[in-house]
Structure 1
């Protein structure tokens, strides 16, 4: 008994072999594309997270800027913010010389 592969012409065997290699290449390409898509989704997710954090810090900056502007209008501020005045009197006392 002969093998079924040997009964077919050379051209048909080569065609099937190349078609199999092309199919395997497409499967590898599809797998790589899926991996790339997952990585791109991760990157886009991270940029959305950074946008949220940036917006939060922007709000904080505007809040602090508003407090600084309000502190310039008032003579007194909160301790630790740079707007707190301990005493507005300047000492005029002599040194005794």
Structure 2
């Protein structure tokens, strides 16, 4: 039986180390991919929820418009936190909600 030389032993050791490194890299990449898929799945869920709230908001806006035909200005109405809430400057320089009545001078 022929004994391995130092070069062959070192080559085998380095090959095993590289193989181990690649296996660890592959495992880490798979873990990263799973986390990215979870994040993308969560954003899709948020889009669904946002769409549901938008539909609800539009439904409520329609009911409010039907109930309130008092001749207010065509200011867009919105609920705080939904992205549709509009602020306007009042005559006194302060900021008021867009759907509040402005006082006549």
- d(CA) in 2 for partners of 1:48 and 1:8? 58
How far the C-alpha of 1:73 sits from its partner, in A, is 2.1
TM score, norm. by length of structure 1? 0.67
TM score, norm. by length of structure 2? 0.62
Q: Any unmatched runs of 5+ in structure 1?
A: 75-97
Larger Cα Rg: Structure 1 or Structure 2? 1
Q: Any unmatched runs of 5+ in structure 2?
A: 71-105
- Alignment root-mean-square deviation, CA: 1.5
Give the number of aligned pairs: 70
- d(CA) in 1 for partners of 2:45 and 2:4? 60
- SS of 1:36's partner is helix
Structure with the higher fraction of residues in strand conformation: 2
Q: 2:4 maps to which residue? A: 8
Structure with the higher fraction of residues in helix conformation: 1
